[in-house]
Amino acid sequence: MKKVFLFVSMVAALALSACNSNDDVENGGIEIPGITFDDDENCCVAEDALRIYNFLQTVKNVPELTTEVEGKYVIYAYSATGSFHKGYNDLYFVATKRTTGNYVKYFTISDFTPLMYMTKMNMSHSTPVSDGFGVFDAGLPAIQRGWVSFLMDSGEGGEWSLSYDVKVLNSEGGVEKAPIQVGALPAGQSWLKSFKVGADTYYLSLVNPLDWATGTNAIQAYVSKKSADITTPYALASEEFTIEIDPRMPDMGNHTSPNNEALTLQSDGAYRGTVNLTMTGLWRIHLTVRDAAGNVVGGGDDLDNGLSSLYWDVTI
């Protein structure tokens, strides 16, 4: 992998302009700060660029993952807060032309590798990641999305780094072992759990439950399998499961809620179902995982006071 590019002050200023504001430019009545339009067919037209710009105002740049590619392009990474936390995190990448700031449609992110170095144990391990990065919205053709689900935060005996390779048209670059901080989740939130089937370990990553409210919510998760080489990112499990859910409120006598639907595997690799939360507070979502034949392989039979000891915690 190429080493992280050491920015001089001029490039740093360009990074800020592409993410926030600079001299306004006009193209067919559309003004987007920091972008000068050209006729390059590899770049976005004004209407697409405006949608991309507006979307990027809803997320925050992760400066540790910013890099320049062969003096021609700048790569930016974004997360919801500009940082990371334990469990599931969405991650977005954007490529821009260094000379104009215009977004480039054709680039690929590969070899995305998070690593935790465990100081006392003098060893490293990876964590669950998405099955690659790709365009997730036709109206945002220059934004590629993926995700990473961190097993632990940076305060748990080690430090995280992230690496990736990038190819923009015919130019190549990347970031190698950029140090990052992974924070703990707030009290009352626990979104990543594991279960074992024989010698294999699987991870259940719950997606963005902070978006939930009282009433019926779509619930989404991913099932990843620990790699034989634990420094290799943990890919989505090839096996198919069903994840039954039983939401309870431990602070309210463990009362439950009606009309919940198990999470089942979808064509995009995600598991989706429905959870109904009747009031605000801490919800412990007890899990029973079944294999394709219907056998319980996680939670379910491992009961604590009649409830599965495999669960996510979500506070709304």
The three-state secondary structure class of 15 is helix
Q: What is the pTM of this model?
A: 0.89
Asked if pLDDT for residue 22 goes beyond 80, the answer is: no
Q: State which H helix or E strand residue 14 sits in.
A: helix 9-19
List the one residue out of 75, 45, 299, 111 whose CA is nearest residue 195: 299
List the one residue out of 216, 237, 211 whose CA is nearest residue 88: 211
For residue 76, the tally of other CB atoms under 10 A from its CB is 19
Domain 192-315 has CATH 2.60.40: yes
Which pLDDT does position 239 carry in this prediction?
Answer: 98
Is residue 92 within 8 A of residue 80, CB to CB? The reply is no
Which pLDDT does position 6 carry in this prediction?
Answer: 38
Which pLDDT does position 118 carry in this prediction?
Answer: 96
Which pLDDT does position 240 carry in this prediction?
Answer: 98
Which pLDDT does position 29 carry in this prediction?
Answer: 59
Which pLDDT does position 30 carry in this prediction?
Answer: 81
List the one residue out of 113, 140, 175, 149 whose CA is nearest residue 52: 140
pLDDT band at 16 (very low <50, low <70, confident <90, very high): very low
In percent, the amount of the chain with pLDDT more than 90 equals 84
Tokens of 125: 């391990």
Q: What's the pLDDT tens digit per position in 249-304?
A: 999 999 999 999 999 999 999 999 999 999 999 999 999 999 999 999 999 766 66
Q: What are the C-alpha distances in Å from 314 to residues 213, 249, 288? A: 11, 10, 17
Ranges of CATH 2.60.40 domains, the chain: 192-315
Strand-pairing partners, residue 135, are: 144
